[in-house]
Amino acid sequence: MRSAVMRSMWVAGLLASTVMVGGMAWGEMARYDVDLDHSIIEFQVKHMVISKTTGRFMDYSGFVEMDPEAGQFKTIEATIKAASLNTNHEKRDTHLRSPDFFDVEKYPAITFKLKQVKKTGDEYTAVGDLTMRGVTKEITLIGAFNGVTKDPWGNTRAGFTGKGKLNRKDFGMNWNKTLDSGGLIVGDDVDIRLEVEVIKAKGG
């Protein structure tokens, strides 16, 4: 009888602990919004085989739901205005906005939604769906969580660094020209670099 009572108490205690831990973990999750003024979304592609062209998107929004103390991430979403691309060359940017590439009038937004994230040591591997030109493909981003701090105005901020790669032809960007040497004007592989700073949402 005594052992049965003790067993029941142990089970009840275990359940209570599980509920408390689950509640605490959920309670620590909070929303952090991307700070556009202190973030960079950059892309780089080979030009005529011998060099690389670098560009950035200047207008975007996004948020992260995370528990920074535990290093856990629930949601990462971003929306980029495709027309905001800037490679520091007006004629090239106009071409990139055309149907040959981003086709911004027909597809004004590029979106990313996290599917899963894995932590190995200090490195994070984030897998998510990237939608561009009406095509959705899974991409992988490798990065680091740079920590959390308070700014002079009392806001909680966090930072991330990430990189990835995609093939532009997977998204219907097939335009190219062949050089006399046999190479192509524009490479197929696009390197992605991210420097993202986020601010904890009020009440988040």
**pLDDT tens sequence across 39-93:** 999 999 998 777 899 999 999 999 999 998 888 899 999 999 999 999 999 999 9
Nearest-angstrom CA–CA distance, 146 and 160 = 5
Q: DSSP secondary structure string, 61-119? A: EEEEEEETTTTEEEEEEEEEEGGGEE-S-HHHHHHHHSTTTT-TTT--EEEEEEEEEEE
Say how far apart CA 77 and CA 109 lie, in whole Å: 13
- Domain residue ranges of the chain, discontinuous segments joined by +: 29-200
- Rounded to 5°, the CA angle 33-131-88 comes to 75
DSSP helix/strand/coil, 18: helix
Q: What does the pLDDT read at residue 202?
A: 85
159-178 pLDDT, tens digit per residue, is 999 999 999 999 999 998 87
Question: Residue 96 burial by CB count (10 A; 0-12/13-18/19+): exposed, middle or buried?
Answer: buried
Q: Tell me the C-alpha distance between 203 and 9, whole Å.
A: 38
Average pLDDT over residues 25-47: 88
Place of tokens 């700014």: 151
pLDDT-wise least confident of 11-20, 26-35, 106-115? 11-20
Residue 203 has pLDDT above 90, yes or no: no
pLDDT tens digits, one per residue of 117-147: 999 998 999 999 999 999 999 999 999 999 9
Mean pLDDT score, 25-44: 87
Higher pLDDT, 70 or 115: 115
Close Cβ partners of 45 (under 8 Å, ≥ 6 residues apart): 52, 53, 168, 186, 187, 189, 190, 191
Q: Which fold has domain 29-200?
A: Lipocalin (2.40.128)
Mean per-residue pLDDT, 90-114: 97
